[in-house]
Structure 1
Amino acid sequence: MKIGAIDIGTNSVRLLIAEKNGGWHDLRRELEITRLGEDVNRTHKIKPGAMERTLAALSKHKDLFERYGVENVRVVATSAMRDAANSADFIAIVKERLGLTIEVISGEEEGRLTFAGVAGPGSLVKPDELALVVDVGGGSTEYIYGRNGEVFGATSLNIGSVRLYELFIKHDPPLATELKGAREMIRTAAMPAFEKAAVESPDVVIAVAGTATQIAAIYYGVEPYDPEKIHGARIGLSELTSLIKQLAAMPVEERRALKGMHPKRADVIVTGALILEETLLGLGFPEMIISEKDILDGIAYSIG
């Protein structure tokens, strides 16, 4: 059986086509950065231009479904669509033009699907390990606890790379005061998650999604992007701190030219990385492991 999964995030639209035949086999993965959540934090509405960019990406993805003979599809939307007052309008347009049904999920369901992806085939989590999965998105960040594939705690926070960038970063490169403001918001929002971590004491921190994989690609100089080189990569807190200092000192155009950098992530990579750094600091954890498996895989498993 061939299945198709789409994750519509604040910053990107991602596709996975996989086949379940005595196991899971990826057939195609695609990513389009459409910035659906542009200005949603301020206006609480999805802009017409953001809708059109996302519609164009979804149209390409639907064509791939047809080309691969996909039988079952699930399309999930997260933070930007949860926050926007006109989400229903966009859902109706997508249904009318493309015949795709968008399901807007809660932060808790987002966390559950993310952990299912991390804990599935190719998992980096060892048996009996208590894993804390950190999913930094464009509009929200999820902290999910689980062991042996079972989730027993998930927290969704309204902090993300795009949201923080739009709230705090007004100069290029960013001012120290702007970065300080972003850090303070992260610490305040995430304090309950850090306090829970002090009680639960996870064995491993797994970082997923675009910010984490992009940081790994830059740090290890992976270009062209190769998921096999990213999956399982480790980045220590001290290395992450040094990289953030380097990135924050550069104007966006210089960041775009870095080996491993996706040009459309160059503006928000610093604010996203701050969430990861503050998370390791708040947890008192020395490093994170990067997983290519995330919510997109969890969506696929939920279909199959």
Structure 2
Amino acid sequence: MTHNVHTQHEQYLAALDIGSNSFHFVLARHVNQQIQILHAEKYRVQLAQGLDNTFTLSSKAIARGINALEKLATSSQHITPDNFRAVATYTLRQATNAEQFLTAAKRIFPFTIEIISGHEEARLIYQGVAHHRQTNEQQLVIDIGGGSTECIIGQAYQIKTLDSLQLGCVSYQQAFFSDHVISQQAFERAIRSASHQVDSIIKRFANTGWQHAIGTSGTIKAIAKIINAEQEISREITLEDVENLKATLLTFQHFDEIDLPTLKETRRNVLCSGVAILLAIMRCFDIKTLGYCQYALREGVLFEQLENLKHNNVRQRTVESFISRFNIDFHQAENVKSQAVDIYQQVAESWQLTAPIYLELLTFAAQLHELGVDINASSYQKHGKYIIEQADMAGFNQEQQYALAWLVGNQRKKISPYNVTAEYTLTHQTLHKLCVILRFSVLLNQQRYTQADLNLKVNGINNRFEVYLDKQWLIDRPIISTELFYEQQILEAINVTLIVQSNKY
């Protein structure tokens, strides 16, 4: 008798953090509802160095990133796509030609790459730290990356407040230490710039409060190791320690001269900028001591995968919180959702909508379709779209959040184009089909009728959407009958032909 390696008690999970300075890969094993980390790899890519003043990513930077992904793809063949999550952060968020990178990656890397927002990055970083550091204290977590810095306050697994600031060790090296010369003037300019950004969140964070400060990821790790080089047991670093490290760095005139214990060659060029950013943060937040946690974004991604395996979907929790927050009519939302799911199940195979994310997006759009009603009932779909576009939606990557906003915004009336240049996992053709299902579900329920007597049959063939309704049912509902006539014209804008027939079951 043979046994599958991936049993319900043990299966492999993997996460990839496509950062601005390095790509971090981690492989773990899921055993008895716990994560056991087995292996980690780091690829120094420095994507952020390839961003120019117009936020265009250079071909050389793209090539470095693709080369790292190609190596990783070879060693990750045993991992299933469902168990591998790759997230991209600041540089691909900012790059105007991010689709060029994603398209090239798709050719050689068999796993989906998600570009996540700064707030989503912060949330996942905190999840990594919270799972490693079990405490009931309210803690401030700081992660200085290559292009952005995330600051989060939380208690246990609950986040109180967070933000993502556009300051990172690679971008600051380019801005203030581009000639690799070390000077007091360069340090002060970098610290002043970083302090200006940190000042924008000081009041909110101070009002929330914290008992302990924790740093994570490569920049703070490198600084802590240098400071603790002569210590048998590593201790928390102090503001005075970081000030002294800055003074030591000023004894060197050029990056090439830096000679400090434990400093890796790959960190030499971004050490001064990292120290400047950390000094600004510790001074602004009045942090006297800072601990270090080895878990960060990639571990947060792993633990979220584990939560999803337990059917504790973060995106679903986010949607449920919006339903409560915006006083959405739960009964109506569930009616539209039920109708949408019924139609989806009839056309999913013929319309090739079988990927789980399609049903998720459709049900979320149905649940949130009246999100903007409290603002303006006559144009509520526009307000719902805006809220979703601008909100901090935990669990959604940028592509998913924009797609959800577009669906909600086009549930009724005129359909606006899906203007996304980079289509990686969701194509406009797919979203058009989901939009048809959502619009039809909203239309059938717009008068808040009970649809117990509706025996609806639909069929999706290429760009045709065939609907079979009882003739008497339509006669009894003249408003819906009229709306269906206009809907045929509207759907032509997305190249979908709506055919309504009666008495065929």
Please, what TM-score do these two structures have when normalized by structure 1? 0.90
Aligned to 2:218: 210
Aligned to 1:2: 12
Deviation at 1:238, TM superposition (A): 0.3
SS at match of 2:161: strand
Q: Is the 8 A contact 2:223 2:275 kept in 1?
A: yes
Mean Cα deviation higher: 190-199 or 285-294: 190-199
- Confirm whether residue 28 of structure 1 aligns to residue 28 of structure 2: no
Query: Which AA in structure 2 matches 1:11?
Result: N
* Alpha-carbon distance in 2 for matches of 1:71, 1:84: 27
Aligned to 1:169: 177
- Which structure 2 segments of 5+ residues have no match? 1-10, 307-505
* Alpha-carbon distance in 1 for matches of 2:293, 2:81: 26
* Alpha-carbon distance in 1 for matches of 2:66, 2:181: 32
* Counterpart among 196, 205, 212 of residue 197 in structure 1: 205
> Structure 2 matches for 1:228-243, cutoff 5 A?
233-243=235-245
SS at match of 2:77: helix
* Counterpart among 149, 167, 188 of residue 141 in structure 1: 149
* Counterpart among 111, 129, 135 of residue 118 in structure 1: 129
* Counterpart among 7, 11, 15 of residue 25 in structure 2: 15
* Counterpart among 252, 255, 261 of residue 255 in structure 2: 252
- Confirm whether residue 78 of structure 1 aligns to residue 97 of structure 2: no
User: Matched residues, percent identical?
Assistant: 26
Aligned to 2:107: 96
Deviation at 1:117, TM superposition (A): 0.2
Aligned to 2:189: 181
Query: Which AA in structure 1 matches 2:67?
Result: A
- Confirm whether residue 58 of structure 1 aligns to residue 69 of structure 2: yes
Aligned to 1:130: 138
The structure having more radius of gyration, on CA atoms, is 2
Task: Rate the CA distance shift 1:81–1:68 in 2: closer, same or farther, 3 A.
Answer: closer
Aligned to 1:297: 299
Mean Cα deviation higher: 186-195 or 108-117: 186-195
Ranges of 4+ aligned residues in structure 1 off by more than 4 Å: 67-71
Deviation at 1:40, TM superposition (A): 1.3
Q: Give CA-to-partner distance per residue, 1:213-270, whole Å, 9 cap, x none.
A: 1112222239xxxxxx77xx41011011101221243222233x43211212211111
Aligned to 2:472: none
SS at match of 1:94: helix
* Alpha-carbon distance in 2 for matches of 1:103, 1:295: 13
Deviation at 1:295, TM superposition (A): 0.6
- Which structure 1 segments of 5+ residues have no match? 223-228
Task: Rate the CA distance shift 1:152–1:5 in 2: closer, same or farther, 3 A.
Answer: same
Deviation at 1:171, TM superposition (A): 3.8
Aligned to 2:264: 262
Identify which of structures 1 and 2 has the higher relative contact order when contacts are C-alpha pairs closer than 8 Å and 6+ apart.
1
Query: Which AA in structure 2 matches 1:58?
Result: L
* Alpha-carbon distance in 2 for matches of 1:240, 1:62: 39
Deviation at 1:69, TM superposition (A): 7.5
- Confirm whether residue 42 of structure 1 aligns to residue 53 of structure 2: yes
* Alpha-carbon distance in 1 for matches of 2:242, 2:116: 31
* Alpha-carbon distance in 2 for matches of 1:287, 1:147: 18
Q: Is the 8 A contact 1:91 1:101 kept in 2?
A: no
Q: Is the 8 A contact 1:2 1:71 kept in 2?
A: no
Deviation at 1:50, TM superposition (A): 1.1
Q: Is the 8 A contact 2:161 2:205 kept in 1?
A: no
Query: Which AA in structure 2 matches 1:254?
Result: E
Mean Cα deviation higher: 136-145 or 162-171: 162-171
* Counterpart among 270, 276, 279 of residue 277 in structure 1: 279
Query: Which AA in structure 2 matches 1:85?
Result: T
Deviation at 1:208, TM superposition (A): 0.9
Deviation at 1:131, TM superposition (A): 0.8
Measured on the aligned residues, the alpha-carbon RMSD in Å equals 1.9
Q: Give CA-to-partner distance per residue, 1:44-93, whole Å, 9 cap, x none.
A: 11111111111122222222322577861001000000110010110111
Aligned to 1:106: 117
Aligned to 1:225: none
Higher strand share: 1
Deviation at 1:192, TM superposition (A): 2.1
Q: Is the 8 A contact 2:182 2:249 kept in 1?
A: no
Deviation at 1:24, TM superposition (A): 1.2
Q: Is the 8 A contact 1:41 1:163 kept in 2?
A: no
* Alpha-carbon distance in 2 for matches of 1:217, 1:33: 19
